[in-house]
Structure 1
Amino acid sequence: MTHSAAPAPIDDFAAWINAFLQPGALIELGVLVTCVGLSWGLVHGLQRAFNPDAERSIWFGRRGIDGVLFPLLLLALAYGARALTVLWLPLAVWRVAIPALLALVVIRIGVQVLEVAFRGASWLRPVERTVSWVAWLAAVAWITGLLPVVLSELDQITWKIGGSTLSVRTLIEGALSAGAVLIVALWISSAIEARLLRDATGESLSLRKAASNATRALLLFVGLMLALSAVGIDLTALSVLGGAIGVGIGFGLQKLAANYVSGFVILTERSMRIGDMVRLDTFEGVVADIKARYTVIRAVSGRESIVPNEMLITQRVENLSLSDPRVWQSTVVSVAYDCDVELVQRLLVQAALEQPRVLRDPGPLAALSAFGPDGLEFTLGYWIADPENGQLALRSAINLRVLALFQEHGVEIPYPQRVVHVRPPASDAPAVPSTPLARVTRVP
């Protein structure tokens, strides 16, 4: 490694600062403020016209000025105003404003794209701060005239790797190029995902989710290849690495690869879609999200189960709403043997129809299902179309209404009856008169 510390001259700061004290600096400042006002007005008008989603809009952000469009418009107007101002006045304010606006554009693009692409990630804030610090330090170095000197010094620190000669400046520029390529790839994939998933429901949602995941993976792969080329890495050298990764997947990452493949199979064949009501073993809930490696199933109680996609392919899964969202539900009621059967059936159907969640077509059905030891057993069955909203509360409401209707019409719900057999006494016990077996009935 070689290092040359040849100093380079730095601009005259005294003359530069003296330029800010001239009357022309006030004119530049006024033009800059005008550019800010025009940019804000244009962004505000476009935001009202398009009405974008504030949570996923990279161009406008949440408040308009924190998106990408505002600093881009301001930078474009500032460049135009600078080109006109330099014809009549020496530059002072623009020497500070242009690098600052460039840094602001870089920060807003990086922050907004990362927030949309990786919403809620724990590492997001440190990365955003790093991007901000790097951009502002580069802007300060540019304004003060230190940037060419620093780059020249970094270009002198070199070393050889194989047949290539690398320098610190080359690595930094390659890393920045790689970051820019990946940011652009994430931006494009986020825009495609928002476009594909907009107003998508049911079967189309799962298919579009699969297309979105595949597009993002493809764009990130292409971006990574371009980034490696920008750094100066020969991509032909990755063939050996690709073979090693293939062997590693074949032996050590079988489960992980199986989960990813299963995720794409589920999304492609649409055997399970977002919003379906499913039951896996003893866990029942709604499919909240399907990722490349796992699926999130949310129970009506609020519990969420993260299920590897391989389990959904290799094990038996009950999809309660695969071809039809309607679900059959039932409850069992016992009445006395001397009750009016037709009246009981009519009251049971009435109790079900009084609930708005119970479907009218097909309607509820009350049937005599068994002759129980204590009374007649009726099964009330009905269909619902929204099992994701819970089933226990609906069954409880129907049972309460059945109880109220039975009490109102004098239908008796029998109490359990038991027969007790009294054994005769042993031979050595005092003799007692023989009595027949006693039938004991418990009454309230």
Structure 2
Amino acid sequence: MENTTETGAKFGLDMLASIQTAAGTVQSFAISLMQPGWRLYQVLIILGLAALCYGLHKFSGRALQTWVRAREGWKAWQLRMVVQIRRRLGLVWFSVLGWSVWLFMQETTWPSRSYLIGLAATLATAWAFIGFSARLVRNRFLRRVVTWGLWIYATLFYLNVSDEVALFLDRLALSVGDFRLSVLTLITAAVVIGVLITLARLISNTAAGTIRRNEDISPSMQVLAVKAVQISLYGFAFFAGIKAVGIDLTGLAVLTGAIGVGLGFGLQKVISNLVSGVIILLDKSIKPGDVISLGDTFGWIQTLGARYASVVTRDGKEYLIPNEDLITGQVVNWSHSNDFVRLDIYFGTSYADDPHQVRKLAIEAAKSADRVLSHRPPVCHVVGFGDSSVDYILRFWIKDPTGGLTNIRGNVYLALWDIFKANDISIPFPQREVRMLSDMPKQTFGEAVPEKVAEESSSAKKDTGPDTSFG
């Protein structure tokens, strides 16, 4: 406990001493700039250039915006580039005018009398270049961190105080035994890891594009290969960055193992879904683009993630189904080995209609519907004699289950309706008649019903037979 207190006190004293030294250096430099002479004149020239460039920034920005609005047919990346140029017109103008003034003063007076102007022009050029280059970072927050970090480093570098600042940050350290962690180490680790991860992202994107363009690799194996490349590159970038700055990870092995055991018990479902996702990608049972049915969910696989599969239905809903359910549950894959799907439709006609004609007309109706395959012709069979109709089954094949199943069934039903109506084929349905007996005598509770009345009452419940008219 005492060692920890002494370490914290020493850390605080070192920080205070370093801050006081840095403050004294900055104060001395500021006082030297305010002394009469060419240093002060250069500061005034720089301030004048800054004011002039601010006005030019406003004027040229409006002119550029008006010019762009008059253009038509520009692509999105071109418009984004113009926006970035418009935001940094002030730095661009200061760089151009600053270097012009510096060159003029280099020719007309002593080089030392334009040193600060050249330094200001150099900083403006570096800031503008960093601002444009940072657009390569897609994440907005990370892009701002990179931009400000590079701006600060470039400023310190061109002011020739980078070594002093590095020494100051290295003094701000926390030491516990043989372990020492300074602010400089943390910043260096963040920079190295950030650069390596950026390179890993660029390499992984290039490799992913190459893998996806390879038609010899199945879609499921493409997803697995892309995931493996990304995990390998990002993991290598992280650990390489840690080792590059001299941080020893050996002491964290036991702690990492204990944390891993705890996470294993607490995240069983998550780990199960991850393993199930790898199994799905390896055995190719389900792949992006397949049409599946899982319970009441019918749709096609849009993406296969590490934890879940995205299934989009015909009504636009997107279901995120855990990978474990796809492994342990019964899944109907309509396009696993091929895209051919057979659909069945049941219907019935009157006993007065010729079954041979009905079968012929049903096959013609199915052939007339779109999406029904002709090289696998439809068939129609009698499957039974029902109470009210002769029952049939009509079978036909399609090759595009992604286009939906309900709509093609509906089209075939409409075709049956039209062709049956045109050929006087009737579709029967049960019809019952209820007869009200108003002259039935009253009876007391428990009294037997007369035999004649009971017969009439029972006959009123008899089925009058099916209606054999169409519809």
When normalised by structure 1's length, the TM-score is 0.73
Is the 8 Å Cα contact of residues 170 and 183 (structure 2) preserved in structure 1?
yes
Deviations 1:382-422 (A, max 9, x none): 11111121111111111111111111111111232559899
Give how far 1:275 is off: 0.9
Tell me how far 1:238 sits from its aligned partner.
3.1
1:411 alignment partner in structure 2: 425
Equivalent residue pairs, number: 383
Q: How does 1:278-289 map to 2 (within 5 A)?
A: 278-289=292-303
1:295 paired residue among 298, 309, 317: 309
Per the alignment, residue 195 of structure 1 pairs with 210
**SS in structure 2 opposite 1:6?**
helix
Aligned ranges 1:62-73 → 2 under 5 Å: none
Alignment of 1:290-369 (within 5 A): 290-369=304-383
Q: Distance in 2 between matches of 1:230 and 1:16?
A: 44
Mapped to 1, the partners of 2:291 and 2:397 lie a distance apart of: 15
- The answer to which structure has the higher helix fraction is 2
* Greater relative contact order (CA < 8 Å, ≥ 6 in sequence): 1
Mapped pair 1:216 → 2:230: yes
Range with greater deviation from structure 2 (317-326 or 99-108): 99-108
Counterpart position of 1:237: 251
1:28 aligned residue: none
Partner residue, 2:122: 95
| Contact 2:303 2:310 survives alignment (8 Å) | yes
The answer to whether the 8 Å contact 1:155/1:168 transfers is: yes
Match of 1:269 among 264, 280, 283: 283
In structure 2, how many angstroms separate the alpha carbons of the residues matched to 1:182 and 1:269? 31
Specify the alignment match of 2:464 in structure 1: 440
Q: Separation in 2 of the partners of 1:232 and 1:278? A: 51
* Counterpart AA for 1:315: G
CA shift, 1:335, in A, is 1.0
AA aligned opposite 1:299: T
Partner-residue secondary structure (3-state), 2:202? helix
Counterpart for residue 195 of structure 2: 180
Specify the code of the residue in structure 2 equivalent to 1:331. Answer: I
Normalising by the residue count of structure 2, what TM-score does the alignment of the two structures yield?
A: 0.70
What residue identity is the alignment partner of 1:375? S
CA contact (8 A) 1:178 1:230 kept: no
2:123 aligned with 1:108, yes or no?
Answer: no
- Secondary structure of the 2:301 match is strand
Q: Is the 8 A contact 1:103 1:139 kept in 2?
A: no
Separation in structure 1 between the aligned mates of residue 167 and residue 173 of structure 2, nearest angstrom: 12
Aligned-pair CA distance for 1:163: 1.3
**Aligned equivalent of 1:39:** none
8 A Cα contact 2:388 2:466, kept in partner: no
The residue number in structure 2 matching 1:166 is 181
2:425 corresponds to which letter in structure 1? V
Contact 1:266–1:272 under 8 Å retained in 2: yes
CA separation of 1:15 and 1:342: change in aligned 2, threshold 3 A: farther
Query: Relative to 1, partners in 2 of residues 1:62 and 1:399: Cα closer, same or farther, differing over 3 Å?
Result: farther
Structure 1 residues 211-263: Cα deviation after superposition (integer angstroms, max 9, x where no partner): 10011111111111012223432022232133224322442222221211111
Q: Which of residues 142, 148, 152 is equivalent to 1:127?
A: 142
Q: Does 1:157 align with 2:181?
A: no
Q: Name the counterpart of 1:117.
A: none
* Gapped regions of structure 1 (runs ≥ 5): 26-53, 68-77, 113-123
Distance across 2 between alignment mates of 1:227 and 1:66: 35
Contact persistence 2:388–2:465 (CA under 8 A):
no
Q: Secondary structure at the match of 1:414?
A: coil
TM-aligned CA deviation for residue 187 of structure 1: 1.7
